[in-house]
Amino acid sequence: MPSTWYLVGVLAIVFSVTLALRAVPFAALRTLRNSTTVQQLSVTMPVGILVILAATALHGTISAEPRATLDALLAVGATVGIHLACGRRTILSVGIGTAVYVVLVNAF
């Protein structure tokens, strides 16, 4: 069993590295806030991440349960519709799309 001071030392190092890794992006962002690249990424990156997430989820759903393909596509349609109709609120559209999928899979 390691000594108490050894464990305290390890925890101090872990704390310091974690704090530094979490603080660096905010410090860098302060200097890059007016950059056109960062502004472009702030617009396109969330959409790209959602597209990758949706494609991965659809592929996993369709390959695991081919009968749920129509349910998944209807839920994606509902998600896109809610997203466009309700002011592009990601949490709202993903939440409602997930609920639609759960209802369709369990109801039929």
In degrees and rounded to multiples of 5, residue 14 shows phi and psi of -60, -45
Between 50 and 91, residue with greater pLDDT: 91
Q: pLDDT (tens digit, 9 = 90+) per residue, 89-99?
A: 889 998 999 99
Q: Compute the average pLDDT of residues 20-27.
A: 89
CA distances from 33 to 13, 57, 87, 89 (A): 30, 33, 25, 23
Contacts 24+ apart (CB under 8 A), 93-102: 94/50, 100/74, 100/75, 101/71, 101/72, 101/74, 101/75
The answer on pLDDT for 70 being more than 80 is yes
Give residue 88's pLDDT band: very low, low, confident or very high (50, 70, 90): confident
The answer on pLDDT for 82 being more than 90 is yes
What does the domain layout of the chain look like in residue ranges? 1-33, 39-107
Mean pLDDT across the chain: 90
In degrees and rounded to multiples of 5, residue 72 shows phi and psi of -65, -40
Entry pTM:
0.58
Q: What kind and span of H or E run contains 19?
A: helix 4-32
